[in-house]
Structure 1
Amino acid sequence: MTVTGSVHSFDVSTGVDGPGTRFVAFLAGCPLRCQYCHSPDTWYRRTGREMTADDLLTEISRYERFIKVAGGGVTLSGGEALQQPDFVREIFTRCHDKGLHTALDTSGFLGAKASDDLLAVTDLVLLDIKAGDEETYRKVTRTGELAPTVEFAHRLAALGVPVWVRFVLVPGLTDSAENVEAVARIAASIRTVERVEVLPFHRLGAAKYTALSIPFPLADTPAPSPELIDRVRTQFRAHGLTVY
């Protein structure tokens, strides 16, 4: 049976979406509406292009030798890749057949949709923990709950799947010491966490909101100061975590 998915776009990046140089496919569709989202153009599946697994593997094969030599692999991102779990499983299975490293970029909100078979062909999960408490999580995402992400994280640990935690630092939204401590405790409880990436908020996606006639909720929010970034990284390191 032919497996299809909605693919918004794809690109090649280095040092951003997993180890090495990677082919990154951004799948269309996401259940969350994060205030700091820099890709509102990926919120709906209809904004993507329907592709078969063969179609996407053909694109990947064009870069296969290059990404292997560069110690990279293939990352499926979004939107939210786990809105299309069958497509993710098929792509990752066939990437493994080619000897390519696989990484899943996800919020974990739809972690229950990831079967054990899918996770068996996932070499790394880039887990975006939006917040450490339910109130802040709802404020950030404007929908959803934190619990599914935490449950998914513990499931990854039980299965031995390596995890890189990502935390977006937004002044006035996610930067409180209490929220950071809560995120750090969650990260420290995942025995397969290899690193934490503190990602400073930026407004680079603001033009997309203008083009889509959507108000950007954080239009007046500044980037975090170096002092704030250092404080947050120190909080994570205090829990024995490797921080970038």
Structure 2
Amino acid sequence: MKTAENILRVHSIESFGTHDGPGIRFIVFLQGCKLKCLYCHNPDSIATSGGKEYHIEELVQMAIKMKPYFGKKGGVTVSGGEPLLQAKSLIPFFKRLKEEGIHTNIDTNGRILNHFSTELLDDYADLIMLDIKHMTEKGYVSLTGQANKKIAFNLAKHREDSGKKMWLRYVLIPGLTSDPELLHQLGNHFKDYSSIEQIELQPYHKLGVHKWEALGWDYELKDARENTEEELQQASDILSHYFKKVKVN
């Protein structure tokens, strides 16, 4: 029986993901996001309407079929859009996954910190990957279209206090987020967080531009260039002073 609590609105599903958490992942991309990041490669996932409704047990059974491929590290990652918009339904979904012995991971921008999201993070999420957009309020607003970057930092502090594992993700955009001063700010802010296992640098790319065009939206970063190998190495070198592990995806 379908009820609001056991339904997830899904944008897309990837069966053999290798870049969204440890090991081989079954990735569920949820529909809906309150941010409109200038570099979003799935802009069609932003609208809270749309997507396809799945009963959580249907998704659980799909994950169980993938279980032989997970090995010791793999599992299920829920991404988006912004998965915490559907935190209420993710609680029973993750609860079922835990009953099946499946590792759970959430890729989030950290914008939602309420009763449902904290219960999900505290009790059922083995790992979270927190996307850090920008280290200044002005830069955050420019990149995401929303104010108050502190919400994500509050979620990070909550996760740190829980003692459960966390990864950080940071998109490196030349001229916008790549400044060494910003990278040092990022490192200094999180350098004492014992829960952070690694930070992943996401090189800037334009793979989603055609999706913006299909939606009739103006892609404002059309003049931005991709990172050079030297820039990626410089960013990695800076962040390695603050984090246990720096990975360039």
> TM-score when scaled to structure 2?
0.92
Equivalent residue, structure 1, for 2:69: 66
Within 5 Å, give how 1:75-224 maps onto structure 2.
75-112=77-114, 113-224=116-227
CA contact (8 A) 2:17 2:27 kept: no
Q: 1:137 to 1:83 in 2, by over 3 A?
A: same
Within 5 Å, give how 1:12-91 maps onto structure 2.
12-67=15-70, 69=71, 71-91=73-93
The unaligned stretches of length 5 or more in structure 2 are: none
Per-residue deviation, residues 121-169 of structure 1 (Å, max 9, x unmatched): 1100011011112111111111132101111101101101101110000
Q: Secondary structure at the match of 1:209?
A: helix
User: Paired residues, what number?
Assistant: 243
Per-residue deviation, residues 9-50 of structure 1 (Å, max 9, x unmatched): 101234300001010000000000111111101001222112
Q: Secondary structure at the match of 2:19?
A: coil
Report the aligned-residue RMSD: 1.6
Q: 1:237 to 1:62 in 2, by over 3 A?
A: same
Identity of aligned residues (%): 31
Q: Secondary structure at the match of 2:246?
A: coil
Distance in 2 separating the partners of 1:241 and 1:135: 29
Q: Secondary structure at the match of 1:218?
A: coil
Q: 1:117 to 1:9 in 2, by over 3 A?
A: closer
Deviating 4+ runs (over 4 angstroms): none
Q: Secondary structure at the match of 2:49?
A: helix
Q: 1:13 to 1:173 in 2, by over 3 A?
A: farther
Give the letter for the 1:38 counterpart.
H
